Amino acid sequence: MDGSLFRVEIMDENVVVTLPGTKCMAKYRRASAVPSLRLFHARGDDSSPIHEVHFYARAWQLANDKARELGWIV
């Protein structure tokens, strides 16, 4: 599924990835000890047009891309 269909937002020290029109959401928290992201909270949606596993895989990629763009990770 095209990454442009996802919404990526920054909220405090979090990167939140959602799939509009569904309940799918993954929140990644900026780790303080090492330059990385950690999954903080996730929610799937059985009626989503993509399988939950595919949503989480794409969300992880998009969150890491955003964290690199912000200089949070290398």
Q: Considering the entire predicted model, what is its pTM?
A: 0.88
Q: Give the integer Cα–Cα distance in Å for 32 and 39.
A: 13
Can you tell me the mean pLDDT for 39-57? Answer: 93
Of residues 51 and 3, the one with the higher pLDDT is: 51
Helix (H, G, I), strand (E, B) or coil at 65: helix
Mean of per-residue pLDDT scores for the chain:
90
Give pLDDT, residue 31: 79
Higher pLDDT, 31 or 70: 70
pLDDT value at position 13? Answer: 87
